[in-house]
């Protein structure tokens, strides 16, 4: 059985007040909720504050982050290391988000390097993949997802996917309100799992595959009812404690 993981990607949003209100609200909303791992990825500057608020709420929330660099220390101005994130208790680290692939020119190979770097440092990659609207319309979704995953498998072996999270996020569904249907998402999730199973069935069976892209309290349950959708990576709706908690509760109830 795969335990669902619902993670909030706060992207470039936050202030001390906002982080405090959001996590205080989540600490309350998640009281007594079991059967789901709930994680948040604040901007790096707020990871410290988030760690303290999560601890004050009884550690019901897993702390994550939105990126890592490829070195743990040294002359790399402006970088932020996996070891530093670990120092603040962050464990679930998003890599390969389409916004970083697009705005920072991160290649499949570069993302695969980050994947290995996180694993080497004992952190859990939340490895984002997904196709653009044009690729979707051209019927290339499965090929694009397979290529993005193969960058990790070819460089580090299929076992690298043990204990990792894959987040399938169709780019056209991110922040657009135009979510994939649950049936379409399930079909792609199943194809991703089948692709990994060709290399190793046991690895494919255990890997968490989240759906991301306009997940809201209104549509969350329809995704979690699908056999290959093991949680969600949530953007906009994760900035509101009630909405995000409702999504987490839907996962806990469905699985």
Q: Would you tell me which residues interact with ligand 13P (CB under 6 A)?
A: 9, 97, 169, 174-175, 212-215, 233-237
Which residue has its beta carbon closest to ligand 13P? 235
Closest approach, Cβ 103 to ligand 13P, in A, equals 13
Nearer residue to ligand 13P within complex by CB, 148 or 203: 148
Closest approach, Cβ 130 to ligand 13P, in A, equals 9
Closest approach, Cβ 169 to ligand 13P, in A, equals 5
Look-up: residue for tokens 């405090």? 20
CA angle 155–160–161, rounded 5-degree value: 120
Active site residue 189: no
Query: What dihedral angle (degrees, nearest 10) is formed by the CA atoms of 55, 212, 188, 136?
Result: -160
**Phi, psi of 204, deg, nearest 5:** -60, -40
Active site residue 28: no
Closest approach, Cβ 12 to ligand 13P, in A, equals 12
From 97, 99, 131, 189, active-site residue: 97
Look-up: residue for tokens 């609207």? 133
From 29, 92, 169, 189, active-site residue: 169
Closest approach, Cβ 216 to ligand 13P, in A, equals 8
Nearer residue to ligand 13P within complex by CB, 100 or 203: 100
**What distance in Å separates the CA atoms of residue 54 and residue 238, rounded to the nearest whole number?**
15
Q: CA distances (Å), 59 to each of 30, 93, 149, 171, 225, in order?
A: 11, 18, 32, 32, 27
Tokens matching residue 114: 């980050």
Query: What dihedral angle (degrees, nearest 10) is formed by the CA atoms of 231, 233, 235, 240?
Result: 40
**What distance in Å separates the CA atoms of residue 123 and residue 93, rounded to the nearest whole number?**
7
- 104-135 CB burial, b ≥16 within 10 A, e <16: eebebebbbbbbbbbbeeebbbbbbbbbbeeb
Q: Active-site residues: which are they? A: 97, 169
């Amino acid at each position: 059985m795969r335990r669902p993981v619902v993670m909030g990607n706060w992207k470039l949003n936050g202030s001390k007040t906002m982080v405090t209100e959001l996590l205080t609200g989540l600490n309350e909303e998640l009281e007594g909720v079991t059967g789901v791992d709930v994680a948040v990825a604040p901007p790096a500057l707020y990871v410290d504050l988030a760690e303290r608020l999560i601890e004050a709420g009884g550690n019901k929330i897993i702390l994550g982050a939105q990126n890592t660099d490829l070195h743990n220390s040294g002359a790399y101005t402006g970088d932020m290391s996996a070891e530093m994130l670990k120092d603040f208790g962050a464990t679930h680290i998003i890599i390969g988000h389409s916004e970083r692939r697009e705005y920072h020119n991160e290649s499949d190979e570069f993302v695969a390097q980050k994947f290995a770097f996180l694993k080497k440092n004992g952190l859990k990659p939340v490895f984002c993949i997904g196709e653009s609207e044009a690729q979707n319309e051209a019927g290339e979704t499965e090929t694009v997802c397979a290529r993005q995953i193969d960058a990790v498998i070819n460089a580090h072996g299929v076992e690298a996917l043990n204990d990792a999270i894959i987040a399938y996020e169709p780019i056209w569904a991110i922040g657009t309100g135009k979510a994939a249907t649950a049936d379409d998402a399930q079909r792609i999730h199943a194809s991703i799992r089948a692709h990994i199973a060709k290399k190793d069935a046991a690895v494919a069976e255990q890997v968490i595959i989240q759906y991301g892209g306009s997940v809201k309290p209104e549509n969350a349950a329809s995704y979690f009812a699908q056999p290959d959708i093991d949680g969600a990576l949530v953007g906009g709706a994760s900035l509101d404690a009630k909405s995000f908690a409702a999504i987490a509760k839907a996962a806990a109830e469905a699985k």
